[in-house]
Structure formats: C-alpha cells, structure tokens
Amino acid sequence: MAKTKKSKKPENSKIEKKKVYKIIVSCVIILLLALLSGLVFKKFTVKENRGVDASNESLSFYDSDKCRCIERERLRCNEGFELDLENRLCRNVNGKEVTNVILGCSKYECSGTVYRFNFENETWE
C-alpha cells in the first residue's frame, strides 16, 4: 500500500502542474489579445496630425534638411478650427466641437540663422 501512495503523488503533482501551465498560458493569451485589441482600437479612434504644423505656415526660409524648431510658443489649431484665446481652446466653425491647441514652432534655427515669429504683426523675422 505504501507503494501505491507514492505512485499517486507524482501523478497528482503532474496533473496539478498541467493545470497551472494551462492557466498561465491562457492568461498570457488573454493578455496578448487584450493588448492587441487595445492597439487596434487606438489606431481607429485617434486622429492624427500629419503635416499640419508646416503646411499652414508661410515659411519661405524653411528647409527641413537645414532647419530645426528650437522653441514652441505659437498657439495654433487644426484646419476647420478657430483659436479661442480667452479659453485657450480650438473651436470648430459652428462652435460645437472643442479641441486642444497645437503648440506651433515660434523659433527656428536654419544653418546658424535664427528666425523668430513676431506675435504682434504675425510675421517671421
């Protein structure tokens, strides 16, 4: 009878180990699926700001290979939105949607020359 007890213990521990491994593997799979679905959801819900920063500015001096932004203090909005300076927000044309302002570049350094945005007359100097 002593031999049968010893033989049952290894079988029980093997069964318990298999259960633990199944639980761990299933938890990892669930975690990966949740992460993957979160990334997919984020990709479809987040609006991207591609090309907004340089497209609306008149930067005759700007060359992307030679210039870099060294200061961001200009308040700007995406297309279709107007700046509300009092509340520091961007509102769309009909005023129903509100979004955050974009900090546009107010100072560029291009090949050793610094160009600053003049906030009074809204030109580059």
Asked if 17 and 42 sit in the same domain, the reply is yes
**pLDDT at site 54:** 42
Asked if 66 and 42 sit in the same domain, the reply is no
Hey, is 4 helix, strand or coil? helix
Q: Which domain holds residue 10?
A: 1-46
Contact between 70 and 113 under an 8 Å Cβ cutoff? The reply is no
111 vs 62, 66, 73, 98, 114, CA distance in Å?
A: 10, 6, 21, 38, 8
What percent of the chain lies above the pLDDT cut of 70? 78
* 66-102 pLDDT tens trace: 888 899 888 888 888 888 888 888 988 787 888 889 8
**Token pair for 17:** 């180990």
Asked if 68 and 16 sit in the same domain, the reply is no
- pTM score above 0.75: no
Asked if 42 and 94 sit in the same domain, the reply is no
Domain tally, the chain = 2
Asked if 42 and 72 sit in the same domain, the reply is no
Asked if 37 and 4 sit in the same domain, the reply is yes
Strands of 98-99's sheet, edge to edge? Answer: 81-84, 89-92, 98-99
Asked if 24 and 66 sit in the same domain, the reply is no
Asked if 36 and 70 sit in the same domain, the reply is no
**N- to C-terminal Cα separation, the chain:** 97
